[in-house]
Structure 1
Amino acid sequence: MMMGAELLKGIRPATTAGSREAYVTLVTNRDYAMGATALARSIRLTGSSADVVVLFTGGVEADALLPLDRLGCRMVEVEHLSLSDGFNQRHARGNLHANAPFTKGRKPAFHSPLDNFCKLRLWQLIDYETCIFIDADAIVLRNVDRLFDYPEFSAAPNVYESLADFHRLNSGVFVARPSLATFDDMLRNLDQPDVFWRRTDQSFLESYFPDWHGLPVFMNMLQYVWFNLPDLWDWRQIGILHYQYEKPWEKDHPKAAALKPLIDLWHAYYTGYGIPEIASLSKPEQAAA
C-alpha cells in the first residue's frame, strides 16, 4: 500500500480548484484536444458552475491545449500509470486489437488503448467531492448537473446495437468520488499477473464496480443509436451525445454519410457558430427523408 504523498504523484494541476464539483475529461493527443474543445464549450453553454478539468498527457502539444485554456478549463498534466512491462505489452494497440478486435465500428488510427487507463487518475483529484467523467469525443446538450447527486459508481449502459446490451456499462460517462484509498486499491487490482482487460478501462471499471448504478441511456447516448435504434432517439431527453468509434472531426470516415446530422452538430459546438436549438432538430427518420 502506498502512502498519501506517493498516491499524489503523476498528476500536476496548473491551478487550484474553483468548485467542489467537476466535469473531467482526458486528452492524450491533438485529435482529442479538438474533441475536448467542443465538449468544454458545450458544458459552459449549459450554465454549469462546476469546474471543467482537462487531464492531459505529455503526448499533447502545448498549442493544441490553448483553446481549452481560453475556455477556462482547469489544466492538469498527468503521467501514464506505472504498470508492469507485461501489462503494457498485452494492452498495446496491436496486441489488444488482435486479441479483442472491434467488429461493430472502426477505431481511428490515433487511438492508443494504453492511454485509456489514465482515466483512473480522476480518483487522485481529491480537491473535488464528486466528478463526472466525460470522454473527449462527446458533447453535453443540456445541463446535467443533477448527475453530481448520483452515487459512485454510476455509468450508462453500452447500448448502441440492441437493448440486450443494457447489462454492460460504457465508461465514456461516469460519476465518481475521488479518493486516494480507492486509487491505491484500483492500482493493486488493475495490474495482476496475466490480466487482460478486453476493453481496457471499461472492462476494468465494470469488474471493479460490479454493482454499478445505471444512469439513463440518454446521459451517454452513443451515436450508433441514430441508425441502429432510431426509436430510442429523442433530442428532448438526450443530455450527453457520445461519438463512439468513428470521430466527428475525421474526414470522410465510413459512417460519415449516415451520421451527417450528428457530425454537423459537433462542428457547431467545436467552432461555436450555428449551434441549433436541440429540441428542434430532426429525428433519424426525418433526417433520412
Structure 2
Amino acid sequence: MVETLRREGMAWREKPKSAFWSTFMRVFFLFLAFLATTTATTTAHELSQQIRLPHKNAYATMMYMGTPRDYEFYVATRVLIRSLARLHVDADLVVIASVDVPPRWVQALEQEDGAKVVRVENLNNPYKHFDKRFKLTLNKLYAWNLVDYDRVVMLDSDNLFLQNTDELFQCGQFCAVFINPCIFHTGLFVLKPSKEVFKDMVHELEIGRENPDGADQGFISGYFPDLLDRPMFHPPPNATKLNGHYRLPLGYQMDATYYYLRLRWNVPCGPNSVITFPGAPWLKPWYWWSYPVFPLGISWHNTRLQTLGYGAEMPMVLIQTVIYLGIITVTRLARPNIPKLCYRRIDRSVSLIQAGLKLVAIWSILAAYIVPFFLVPTTVHTLLGWSLYLIGTFALSSIAINSFFLPMLPVLSPLLLIFGSLLVMAFPWYSNGIVRGLAIFGYAFCSSPIVWVSFVKIMACLQVSLEREAFFPRLGESTPPPGFNKLY
C-alpha cells in the first residue's frame, strides 16, 4: 500500500514536468516555424524587390577603379541607387561598371541593391592634361550605348535626390543643366541612347576632339555646343516625349553652394529635385567631417541611414573606441609609476635632453589632434565620426598629460574649442550663410587668445617639470653623478 502511494506521488510530481516540457517544445517548434515563415516572406520580398520588371527608361551611373577614393564612391553609388528605389522611380537602375570593379561589389549592387550592372572596358583617355581622378570618366559615354532604353538619365554618384524626377524621361535626345552660366554640368543629363552617336563619340576621341578639361565634362560640352540656345524643358501635360535638345531647369542640378549662401533653397525655375556637390573631392557629402562644416552633409548621411546603413563601418568604430578607452585607463593608472630621475646639476647634455623632451611633448600634443582625424573611417556617419575623433584626441592627449605631468585643462582647451566650434556651426537659426560665416569667424577670433594662453601655460609647466624630473638618464653613465638626488 505504501509502495503504491509512493509510486502515485512520483507520477503526480513527474506529470507536471512532462507537461511543462511538452508545452515548451511545442512553443519552441512554433517559434521556429514562425521564424522560418518570416524568413521565407522576407526572402520573397527581397527577391521581388531585386527582380525588377524591365522598363523602357533607366537611371544610370558609372563606377570605375584606379583612384584613392574607389570605396567611397562605391558607397555613394549604393546610396544613390537605394535612394532612387525608395522614391519608387518607374525605371531601371543601371550601373555602368568597368571590368576591374571587384566582383563582390558587383554582387552587392545586383543582389542587395537591385541594380542592373553593365560591365564595360575602360575607354582610353587620349588627353594628356586631365586630372588623375578623371582618367576614366569618359566611360560615361557608354550611356549612349544603352540602346535597350528609350531614355536614360545619366548621374554622378554625388547627387542627392529630394523627390521623384521621372518627368525627365519626357525630355528630348539630350538635355542638361547650366549650373555654370556658360557650360552645362554633366552630373545629371538626359539622353536618348544611340549606337550611331556612341560610335561617333568614340571616333571623336580617337581623332582628338578639343577638350578643355580632359574629362567627360569638357568632351560632352564640346560635342553639344549649342545647348545654351535651346529652349527650357517643361514636361508636357499629356506625358508625351519631346524631340530635340533642351536646357533643364536649375532645380534638377542644384549646386550645394547656392544653399550655403541663404541656408535654404529658393530656385524658382523648375522643381527643387536634385542636389549636386561639385568641387574639391574632400568636400563630398559622404565624409564624416562634412557636417556641420557644410550643413547639407547631414542630409546625405540621413539618406544613407535610411537606405544602406553603416554596418560596414561599425566594427572599426567599436574597435577604435575600445582602444581609446583602454589608452585613457592605462595612462591614468600608470601615471604614479612612471620612473622619475632628477638631476640638480645643469650642464649642456641635460639642457639638450630637456630641449628634446620639450619638442617630443609638443609634437605628441599636436599628434593627438591630428592622428585621430585620419583614423576615423571616412564614410561613417558624421555624428559617430566627430564623437570618435573627440574620444581619440582625448585619449592620445592623456598620454602627453600623464607622461610629462602637464595640466589637463590647457592641453585639452583646443579640444573644448573644437567642440564649441561644432556647436556654433550647427546652430540652426542663422538667417543666412553670411551671418553664419561671421559667427564662425567671431568665434575663431575670440578663441585664438585662449589657444595662445594655453600654449604658454603648457610650455611653462613643461619647463618646471623637466627641471625637476629628467625622464631618461644620460647614456653610458653607470653611477649617479655628483649632485644626484632621487625623488622617490
- Structure-2 residue corresponding to 1:101: none
Following superposition, the deviation at residue 167 of structure 1 comes to 2.6
Taking only aligned residues, the RMSD between alpha carbons, in angstroms, comes to 3.1
- Structure-2 residue corresponding to 1:222: 255
Structure with the bigger percentage of helix = 2
What is the rounded CA distance, in whole Å, between the counterparts of 1:74 and 1:283 in structure 2? 43
What is the rounded CA distance, in whole Å, between the counterparts of 2:81 and 2:430 in structure 1? 26
- Structure-2 residue corresponding to 1:57: 98
- Structure-2 residue corresponding to 1:11: none
Following superposition, the deviation at residue 113 of structure 1 comes to 0.7
What is the rounded CA distance, in whole Å, between the counterparts of 2:220 and 2:99 in structure 1? 24
- Structure-2 residue corresponding to 1:22: 58
Structure with the bigger percentage of strand = 1
What is the rounded CA distance, in whole Å, between the counterparts of 1:286 and 1:68 in structure 2? 39
- Structure-2 residue corresponding to 1:9: none
Paired residues of 2:252 and 2:274 also in contact (CA < 8 A): yes
Match 1:116 to one of 117, 137, 141: 137
TM-score (norm 1): 0.73
Match 2:286 to one of 249, 265, 284: 249
Following superposition, the deviation at residue 80 of structure 1 comes to 1.0
Secondary structure of 1:191's match? helix
The 1:168/1:251 distance shift into structure 2, 3 A limit, reads same
State the aligned residue count.
239
Paired residues of 1:22 and 1:51 also in contact (CA < 8 A): yes
Paired residues of 1:226 and 1:259 also in contact (CA < 8 A): no
Match 2:222 to one of 186, 189, 207: 207
Paired residues of 1:90 and 1:196 also in contact (CA < 8 A): no
What is the rounded CA distance, in whole Å, between the counterparts of 2:250 and 2:212 in structure 1? 24
- Structure-2 residue corresponding to 1:240: 274
Aligned-partner residue type, residue 259 of structure 1: F
Could you tell me the percent identity over the aligned residues?
A: 24
Paired residues of 2:211 and 2:222 also in contact (CA < 8 A): no
Paired residues of 1:114 and 1:200 also in contact (CA < 8 A): yes
Match 2:152 to one of 100, 115, 131: 131
Following superposition, the deviation at residue 185 of structure 1 comes to 0.8
- Structure-2 residue corresponding to 1:32: 73
The 1:223/1:67 distance shift into structure 2, 3 A limit, reads farther
Paired residues of 1:131 and 1:175 also in contact (CA < 8 A): yes
Following superposition, the deviation at residue 22 of structure 1 comes to 0.2
1:269 aligns with 2:269: no
- Structure-2 residue corresponding to 1:169: 184
Q: Which runs of 5+ in 2 are unaligned?
A: 1-50, 65-69, 228-245, 310-427, 440-488
What is the rounded CA distance, in whole Å, between the counterparts of 1:196 and 1:207 in structure 2? 7
Q: How does 1:68-217 map to 2 (within 5 A)?
A: 68-69=109-110, 70-83=112-125, 87-91=126-130, 93=132, 112-158=133-179, 165-193=180-208, 195-198=210-213, 200-212=215-227, 213-217=246-250
Paired residues of 1:152 and 1:175 also in contact (CA < 8 A): yes
What is the rounded CA distance, in whole Å, between the counterparts of 1:50 and 1:125 in structure 2? 13
Paired residues of 2:262 and 2:432 also in contact (CA < 8 A): no
| Higher mean displacement: 123-132 or 237-246 | 237-246
Paired residues of 1:54 and 1:75 also in contact (CA < 8 A): yes
Q: Which runs of 5+ in 1 are unaligned?
A: 1-14, 94-111, 159-164, 276-281
Paired residues of 1:38 and 1:271 also in contact (CA < 8 A): no
Secondary structure of 1:190's match? helix
Secondary structure of 2:94's match? strand
Following superposition, the deviation at residue 130 of structure 1 comes to 0.6
- Structure-1 residue corresponding to 2:424: none
Aligned-partner residue type, residue 213 of structure 2: R
The 1:52/1:153 distance shift into structure 2, 3 A limit, reads same
Following superposition, the deviation at residue 188 of structure 1 comes to 1.7
Aligned-partner residue type, residue 268 of structure 1: N
- Structure-2 residue corresponding to 1:103: none
TM-score (norm 2): 0.45
Q: Using CA pairs under 8 Å that are at least 6 residues apart, name the structure with larger relative contact order, 1 or 2.
A: 1
What is the rounded CA distance, in whole Å, between the counterparts of 2:57 and 2:116 in structure 1? 12
The 1:17/1:170 distance shift into structure 2, 3 A limit, reads farther
Work out which of the two has the higher radius of gyration on C-alpha atoms and give 1 or 2.
Answer: 2
- Structure-1 residue corresponding to 2:375: none
What is the rounded CA distance, in whole Å, between the counterparts of 2:430 and 2:85 in structure 1? 27
Aligned-partner residue type, residue 148 of structure 1: F
The 1:195/1:272 distance shift into structure 2, 3 A limit, reads same
Secondary structure of 2:226's match? coil
What is the rounded CA distance, in whole Å, between the counterparts of 1:252 and 1:172 in structure 2? 23
The 1:146/1:180 distance shift into structure 2, 3 A limit, reads same
Following superposition, the deviation at residue 67 of structure 1 comes to 4.1
The 1:153/1:66 distance shift into structure 2, 3 A limit, reads same
Following superposition, the deviation at residue 227 of structure 1 comes to 1.9
Following superposition, the deviation at residue 92 of structure 1 comes to 5.1
The 1:182/1:229 distance shift into structure 2, 3 A limit, reads farther
